[in-house]
Structure 1
Amino acid sequence: MSRQVVIGLDIGTTSTKCLAYDVDGEIHAEQEAEYTLYSPDPSRKEQDPEEILKAVKKTLSHVVYEVQKKGAVVAGAGFSAAMHSLLALDHSGNILTNAVTWADQRSVKEAEELKEDGGHELYLRTGTPVHPMSPLTKLMWFQRNQPDIFERAAKWISIKEYVIYQLFGRFLVDHSIASATGLFELKTKQWDDKALRTAGITVDQLSELVPATYRIKGLTREAAEELDIDPDTPFVIGASDGVLANIGAGAVSPGQAACSIGTSGAVRTVVDKPTLDPKGRIFCYELTEDKWVIGGPINNGGIALQWIKEQLYPDLDGAPASKEESTFDEMTKRASAIQPGADGLVFLPYLMGERAPFWDSDTKGVFFGLTLNHGRNHMVRSVLEGVMYQMYSVVIALTESGVQPTEYRCGGGFARSELWRQMMADIFEEDIVFPESHQGSCFGAAWLAMYALEMVPDLSSVRDLIKTTLKHQPVEENVTAYRDIKPIFLRLARGLHDEFKAISDVQRRHASGKRTLSSSD
């Protein structure tokens, strides 16, 4: 009998990944297609929906071909996608806008206004913190700044919904993607009336809500021919990349936290009921009908290390691109020679504003405690530590919300650095384990699809397949050093809010050209 496989498809910010797995977690085929993240000005981060659709079809058709060539059978497929994207279609299904991504900052003003007028109440109903990433604030921006498009829009959907519409001819959205919009009420699992009024739209302009395990059949004839797949192949609508990454890491039981640091970072854990923070510091997004994922993303992970490499270590940048990793190895080697705590140098890693737990787009990067005794090796160590302090601040928010992680499963690019791995164990004051990579969200999408197709007994059975290759334990001497720094970091992060806003206003005025400095200034 032919081996059955299920395809996991992850529609990301800069690429789409597609992998085929069997129930033992073995990969049978994989393909990735990259595309451009457009930034017409510093505040905007957009995708071309047609480029995304082509990438999905390209990767999916390649994986289907490879699977069939090996004599296996595609039993189904599952979708994963980045959260918070938004695009508009007219009444004929024509694209009116690019897909505005989670990284887009155009709705900063709208987010700040909403925070002052009912935003926290909306958070307590929807589980989505008020922030420019949210489709709710993006809709407010379109209503105010592009009223012609706003009036013509028949549908407001995510990039994942656009792909499904093109493949199946239906407007569907899973509860997981919907619960990250700021428009979905967690308790009723329906679109939230007050949020819709705030956004200025109606239910008819949104997709039909379905659970993450919802099966879709009936590919359009054109799509089935292009993909060379049986049109009755079941697709499972799936969930968002963040919650599916927990499945991919085997962190699916209460107390198990998935931590990742790539360009950005996140801490997430699964709970059995919607859990919110009275202070609004964490998100709560649905995974399945009886499981939710809470936690928080940080904007500044590996991007902070990339920045300091470019600014302070140009002499290490002469290596060919293929040896890029060795540049970071050399940096972390130098940072390893500096004592934990960087001799009192603290870095606030807010180079791109920040999401959890402060949800403040105006935050800025800060070196604090800088003296003549500090050199660039101190600075790179403090950057590494600053990112990890920020991750730890999300853990504090989780704990104060009544959810105490008892196990940390970690991945992402930072896992290649022994220094950074040990730093996490020391700052978190907990053992840290590192699962073998299964392409996180892709594997999570495939496993959720297998569960929906009754190929596996439950989601938690994924843990049997996830092997952990590394484990780091806290070193008491290092823990003691970081205990002195952590409260200083947190006080600085919380206490500079007004100054962050003030300097952001100055930067925006100068960037917009409202004032030009003269030589006498």
Structure 2
Amino acid sequence: MDYLIGVDLGTTSTKVVLFDTKGHVIASANKGYKLYRDAPDMAEEDLDEIWEAFTDAMAQVTRAAKDGKILGVSFSSAMHSLIAFDADWQPLTRVITWADARAVKYTEELKSNGIGQEIYSKTGTPIHPMAPLSKLLWLKNEHTDIYNNAVHYLGIKEFLFNRLFGANKMDYSIASGTGLFNIFNLDWDEQALSVTGITKEQLPEPVDPYTIETGMDPQYAAEMGLDVDTPFIYGAGDGPLSNLGVNAIQPGVAAVTIGTSGAIRVVTDAPKIDPKGRTFTYALDKDHWVVGGPVNNGGDVFRWARDNMFDSEKSTAELLGIDSYDLLTEIASKIPAGADGLLFHPYLGGERAPIWDANARGSFFGLTHNHTRAHMVRAVLEGIIFNIYMVSLALEEVVGDLSAIQATGGFARSPLWRQMAADIFEQPVTVPTAFESGALAATVMAQKALGLIDNLEVIGDMIGEANTYQPNPENYDAYRELTPIFIRLSRQLQTEYKAIADYQRTHIEK
């Protein structure tokens, strides 16, 4: 039997999935690693931990392919990461992830002087601390020793390819999320480079996502159970591949993803720039562009609520051998839609779309004596969806009306969360049964790169049957009344976000 491997490089884990050529899952392995938050606004990963997770997961999965040939390995990767290396390719930093907000000061300066909007209009990456553009300004101003000694800059996926093949390349999809890449001429943007003070020579060569590498280091090939000539395909960013993975590549079909973070995205045939700078435009490939908005706060906020408000329930779930998140959603389901007027703004890690404010902070609004922890967890779940819906309103201004919603990510496993999304959006929400959407989409790109298929649309035959959740009209009144309050409040609180964030940065021990 012939196989393909899809690698999903995430923020807190790497998942490796073995598929047959029809998209059926044969085996999978998921290895986690720590997200280091040693200081305010820091969010870093350790290179050695990522490497170990990747190679261990690969070795575990390849053992399930003894009876066949692995045709190729392709990647879905978290975007916006930055790693500095010296002339000998020794790392000078850990992986500075998308969630790292230490560049907020330099981001605000870019926004205020008008240069940021000019760069956004060419790169499609909103001006925000998530982007390597801002991270480079932070290194330049606050870590001059690293900045002055850095000869190369890579992201998480490029680090793996460099170690495996000695390559120094970055696919258009990942490059389009750096804030340094001109999405109209498919090359590094001269103005962005000038602002950061780096040169093209310090960045990888931009390449097509279907580019193939062979001739792996024999030691690493042996460790992973692969032939040295196994084709490795670059693949694309996790956001664009999430659309492909749920077959949301037709005009107007939105993919809503909530994992650790979240996003809502629509595929177009050309880059589309928002005059207000609220949405991104990233490449899937040269013919498919993904327009949307990402949010910092998704499943990680649910985890925060579990760990800090439901510790006893978490322990009980562990003793009973049941999923603690399932227990919490069961608790939340007993509370009516709208949580009896309790709203939660989920900005625990700052926020990207639609407000693009790294100083944003979370809050409960409307608390009364009548509210319980059950109301609070319901409000947390609803707040995450309210925020995604707010992003969708900005997205529709750029791409037009949304005609359908395809859901993916960890939240898609929760019936309650799916129903909330259908009710708040007032649209059916469809969830394909193939949960490994990112890894599956990566293998479809591999098949195209290897000449096994002609177009990406074949994924429609691979994702399996879909479950569709219809909106419940009984919940419309509550959500229609609360949504405008949620939106107005987020705008009003923005006037104080910087003040409270500055207070926290000053008083929280670093």
TM-score bucket (shorter structure): over 0.9
Written as runs of structure 1 = structure 2, the 5 A alignment for 1:331-342 is 331-342=328-339
CA distance in 1 between counterparts of 2:322 and 2:292 reads 30
Determine the structure 2 residue equivalent to 1:168: 165
Which amino acid counterpart does residue 82 of structure 2 have in structure 1?
L
Question: Are 2:210 and 1:210 aligned?
Answer: no
Q: 1:239 aligns with which of 236, 260, 279?
A: 236
Written as runs of structure 1 = structure 2, the 5 A alignment for 1:260-271 is 260-271=257-268
Determine the structure 2 residue equivalent to 1:358: 355
CA distance in 1 between counterparts of 2:375 and 2:99 reads 30
Relative to structure 1, the CA distance from residue 366 to residue 113 in structure 2 (aligned partners, 3 Å threshold; closer, same or farther) is same
Question: Are 2:6 and 1:8 aligned?
Answer: yes
CA distance in 2 between counterparts of 1:319 and 1:377 reads 16
Is the Cα contact below 8 Å between 2:72 and 2:233 reproduced in 1? yes
Question: Are 2:125 and 1:128 aligned?
Answer: yes
Determine the structure 1 residue equivalent to 2:184: 187
Written as runs of structure 1 = structure 2, the 5 A alignment for 1:212-361 is 212-321=209-318, 323=320, 326-361=323-358
Determine the structure 1 residue equivalent to 2:92: 96
1:76 is paired with a residue whose SS is strand
CA distance in 1 between counterparts of 2:28 and 2:419 reads 32
Determine the structure 1 residue equivalent to 2:104: 108
Is the Cα contact below 8 Å between 1:23 and 1:455 reproduced in 2? no
Q: 2:47 aligns with which of 46, 49, 70?
A: 49
Deviation of 1:144 (Å): 0.8
Which amino acid counterpart does residue 48 of structure 1 have in structure 2?
D
Written as runs of structure 1 = structure 2, the 5 A alignment for 1:306-455 is 306-321=303-318, 323=320, 326-455=323-452
Which amino acid counterpart does residue 377 of structure 2 have in structure 1?
V
Determine the structure 1 residue equivalent to 2:483: 486
Relative to structure 1, the CA distance from residue 377 to residue 454 in structure 2 (aligned partners, 3 Å threshold; closer, same or farther) is same
Relative to structure 1, the CA distance from residue 324 to residue 146 in structure 2 (aligned partners, 3 Å threshold; closer, same or farther) is farther
Question: Are 2:472 and 1:471 aligned?
Answer: no
Which amino acid counterpart does residue 315 of structure 2 have in structure 1?
G
Deviation of 1:512 (Å): 5.0
Deviation of 1:254 (Å): 1.8
| Worse-superposed segment, 283-292 or 418-427 | 418-427
| Worse-superposed segment, 173-182 or 442-451 | 442-451
Deviation of 1:90 (Å): 1.1
Question: Are 2:492 and 1:495 aligned?
Answer: yes
Determine the structure 2 residue equivalent to 1:199: 196
CA distance in 2 between counterparts of 1:256 and 1:171 reads 35
CA distance in 1 between counterparts of 2:313 and 2:275 reads 46
Deviation of 1:34 (Å): 2.3
Determine the structure 2 residue equivalent to 1:36: 34
1:300-328 CA deviation, whole Å, 9 max, x = no partner? 22233333334443442331536575544
Larger radius of gyration: 1
| Worse-superposed segment, 412-421 or 92-101 | 412-421
Is the Cα contact below 8 Å between 2:318 and 2:324 reproduced in 1? no
Which amino acid counterpart does residue 250 of structure 2 have in structure 1?
S
Deviation of 1:25 (Å): 0.8
Determine the structure 2 residue equivalent to 1:142: 139
Runs (5+) with no aligned partner, structure 1? 514-521
Deviation of 1:130 (Å): 1.1
| Worse-superposed segment, 108-117 or 169-178 | 108-117
Relative to structure 1, the CA distance from residue 471 to residue 94 in structure 2 (aligned partners, 3 Å threshold; closer, same or farther) is same
1:355 is paired with a residue whose SS is coil
Deviation of 1:216 (Å): 1.7
CA distance in 1 between counterparts of 2:446 and 2:403 reads 28
Runs (5+) with no aligned partner, structure 2? none
Which amino acid counterpart does residue 26 of structure 1 have in structure 2?
H
| Worse-superposed segment, 18-27 or 50-59 | 50-59
Relative to structure 1, the CA distance from residue 60 to residue 92 in structure 2 (aligned partners, 3 Å threshold; closer, same or farther) is same
Deviation of 1:344 (Å): 2.1
Determine the structure 1 residue equivalent to 2:70: 74
Is the Cα contact below 8 Å between 2:242 and 2:437 reproduced in 1? yes
Is the Cα contact below 8 Å between 2:3 and 2:71 reproduced in 1? yes
Which amino acid counterpart does residue 443 of structure 1 have in structure 2?
L
Deviation of 1:208 (Å): 0.6
Determine the structure 1 residue equivalent to 2:506: 509
Deviation of 1:466 (Å): 1.5
1:16 is paired with a residue whose SS is strand
Is the Cα contact below 8 Å between 2:24 and 2:462 reproduced in 1? no
Q: 1:59 aligns with which of 57, 60, 64?
A: 57
